[in-house]
Amino acid sequence: MSLNAEWMQRDLAVLWHPCTQMKDHERLPLIPIKRGDGVWLEDFDGKRYLDAVSSWWVNVFGHGNPRINQRIREQLDSLEHVMLAGFTHAPVVELSERLVQITPAGLNKVFYADNGSSGIEVALKMSHHYWINHGQPGKKRFVTLTNSYHGETVAAMSVGDVALFTDTYKALLLDTIKVPSPDCYLRPAGMGWEEHSRNMFAAMEQTLAEHAHEVAAVIVEPLIQGAGGMRMYHPIYLTLLREACDRYGVHLIHDEIAVGFGRTGTLFACEQAGITPDFLVLSKALTGGYLPMAAVLTTDDVYAAFYDDYATLRAFLHSHTYTGNPLACAAALATLDIFRDDNVIEANKALAARMASATAHLAEHPHVAEVRQTGMALAIEMVQDKASKTAYPWQERRGLQVYQHALERGALLRPLGSVVYFLPPYVITPEQIDFLAEVATEGIDIATRQSTRVSVASDLYPNHRDPG
Ligand SMILES: *Cc1c(COP(=O)(O)O)cnc(C)c1O
């Protein structure tokens, strides 16, 4: 038995994997990874895979990055962890100073959680609690966009909108208000992104006019709806939203968990709209993809609403055990150093241009409805019928064919349904981008060649992170 097969067998005896119909692994091999090096992951049989999706969008500077490794090692020698209530430590103070510095003006306080979903819970609770502290406890609902994704915990799921997924748990969810997404894939033919995004704002304006009295906050994924299929929109929507939230007395929560740290072409997506949200939630690339951590940045106004004598019971009594873990802070500090010292945002412009040119031919493919891009995220939408943009039935699992082909060719290219996308580490080379484009083109040809595809497991439940 190969080493891969051995590890797979031991794994399947005891593990239950995330976002996976485990029965799929009767046919789909699980890939045990032995080591990572830059953009490459290597399995136990020595095969290498180019990590085109940054291991679920976290890894920006490559696996085993020497500078991040070094910083974590140094931290390990002095302090691995201490609770953050009543105590503090150098890396968390330094990181907070740096985050306040590099985010838009006005975000002056940082609260930590230990994963993205928990960060969303913090922002939702803080927002509602702010209104309670201001004598408006009726402001308890959240406005969210259709096709949103904000995480897996129950409140985060409530503000998300992946129909088949959330339907199962409907009985558990908060009652949120959904507004149609400015998703530019759905714009009328011939219309530009900006005009469509502006037009779509009318529904948001109307919702706020009607419901502001009972709304705590609007929550959005700025510029890219990631798990919803890398759907994109124009920054004007965020500019209009900021202005409307101010006018109606509603908080604005930016979930930049996926898009923060350079993915959209600027360090943070809100920069492109020229705005400061009331809450900015960061995670994923925050630690360079090394350790779980989330940061929720907020304003002096929000902070002040909680600052009082203990007996008034206005404090935010929310805690995650691993809040502000020093090793995660060290990884984040090393990551921020690389952004600063290597002029990453500027360098990424050439890589983004290469991603565009390497995939431009796919726009002409008979089963590709759109190739879209925002900065270092590029998505290719496979469809059954190009003219009408008719999607493939999810049961056909076309994306899975691309995934499997890519693995054979040495690339980790895990699609979202029928959307093939590149979200690579920023240390990728132009030649490696060309390789990915070649592999994706072959995979799309294979996946769209036959009129129907037999699903691997017909009982498979479709899901936002599932390649099928
Ligand atoms: C991944 C993601 C989350 C959830 O983060 P976890 O760390 O997986 O809990 C929330 N929002 C967005 C936009 C994400 O992409």
Q: Which domain CATH number covers 378?
A: 3.90.1150.10
What's the CATH number where 191 sits?
3.40.640.10
Asked if the structure places residue 30 within a domain, the reply is yes
Tens of pLDDT, residue by residue, the chain (468 residues): 899 999 999 999 999 999 999 999 999 999 999 999 999 999 999 999 999 999 999 999 999 999 999 999 999 999 999 999 999 999 999 999 999 999 999 999 999 999 999 999 999 999 999 999 999 999 999 999 999 999 999 999 999 997 766 788 999 999 999 999 999 999 999 999 999 999 999 999 999 999 999 999 999 999 999 999 999 999 999 999 999 999 999 999 999 999 999 999 999 999 999 999 999 999 999 999 999 999 999 999 999 999 999 999 999 999 999 999 999 999 999 999 999 999 999 999 999 999 999 999 999 999 999 999 999 999 999 999 999 999 999 999 999 999 999 999 999 999 999 999 999 999 999 999 999 999 999 999 999 997 654 544 433 334 445 554
Distance CA 406, CA 429 (A): 18
Same domain, 14 and 145: no
Same domain, 336 and 376: no
The protein residue with its alpha carbon nearest to ligand 1, atom 6, reads: 116
Q: What single-letter DSSP state applies at residue 362?
A: G
Q: Give the Å distance between the CA of 383 and the centre of ligand 1.
A: 26
* CB 254 near ligand 1, within 6 Å: no
Asked if the structure places residue 230 within a domain, the reply is yes
Same domain, 319 and 355: no
Asked if the structure places residue 23 within a domain, the reply is yes
* CB 283 near ligand 1, within 6 Å: yes
Q: Give the Å distance between the CA of 448 and the centre of ligand 1.
A: 30
Same domain, 214 and 118: yes
Given the CA of residue 156, which atom of ligand 1 is nearest to it?
10
Same domain, 430 and 308: no
Tokens coding 7: 């590890």
SS3 252: strand
Distance CA 22, CA 306 (A): 45
Asked if the structure places residue 429 within a domain, the reply is yes
Asked if the structure places residue 220 within a domain, the reply is yes
Same domain, 319 and 281: yes
pLDDT for res 460: 36
Asked if the structure places residue 57 within a domain, the reply is yes
* CB 151 near ligand 1, within 6 Å: yes
Domain extent for 368: 3-64+344-449
Q: Where are the alpha helices (DSSP H) in 223-320?
A: 236-248, 270-273, 300-306
* CB 287 near ligand 1, within 6 Å: no
Tokens coding 391: 């999607």
Same domain, 246 and 375: no
* CB 53 near ligand 1, within 6 Å: no
Side-chain half-sphere exposure of 30, counting CA atoms within 13 A: 23
Same domain, 187 and 263: yes
* CB 228 near ligand 1, within 6 Å: no
Q: Where are the alpha helices (DSSP H) in 263-359?
A: 270-273, 300-306, 326-341, 344-359
Pocket test for ligand 1, best of 121, 150, 230 (most atoms within 8 A of CB): 150
The protein residue with its alpha carbon nearest to ligand 1, atom 3, reads: 151
Of 341, 359, 387, which residue sits at a domain end? 341
Q: How many domains does the chain have?
A: 2
Q: Give the Å distance between the CA of 120 and the centre of ligand 1.
A: 8
Of 313, 341, 369, which residue sits at a domain end? 341
Pocket test for ligand 1, best of 120, 147, 283 (most atoms within 8 A of CB): 283
pLDDT for res 452: 57
Same domain, 336 and 348: no
Same domain, 134 and 244: yes
CA-closest candidate to residue 465, choices 405, 423, 407, 408: 423
Given the CA of residue 221, which atom of ligand 1 is nearest to it?
13
pLDDT for res 458: 37
Same domain, 264 and 398: no
Contacts of 63 (CB under 8 A, 6+ apart): 35, 36, 37, 38, 39, 40, 41, 51, 55, 289
Asked if the structure places residue 164 within a domain, the reply is yes
Q: Give the Å distance between the CA of 156 and the centre of ligand 1.
A: 9
Q: pTM for the full model?
A: 0.96
pLDDT for res 242: 98
pLDDT for res 167: 81
Contacts of 77 (CB under 8 A, 6+ apart): none
Distance CA 177, CA 218 (A): 9
Q: Give the Å distance between the CA of 258 and the centre of ligand 1.
A: 7
Distance CA 165, CA 325 (A): 32
* CB 226 near ligand 1, within 6 Å: yes
Given the CA of residue 226, which atom of ligand 1 is nearest to it?
15
Asked if the structure places residue 458 within a domain, the reply is no
Tokens coding 129: 């609690």
Q: Give the Å distance between the CA of 388 and the centre of ligand 1.
A: 32
Q: Please name the amino acid found at residue 303.
A: Y
Buried b (16+ CB within 10 A) or exposed e, 345-372: beebeebbebbeebbeebeebebbbbbb
* CB 117 near ligand 1, within 6 Å: yes
Same domain, 323 and 398: no
The protein residue with its alpha carbon nearest to ligand 1, atom 5, reads: 116
Of 303, 324, 341, which residue sits at a domain end? 341
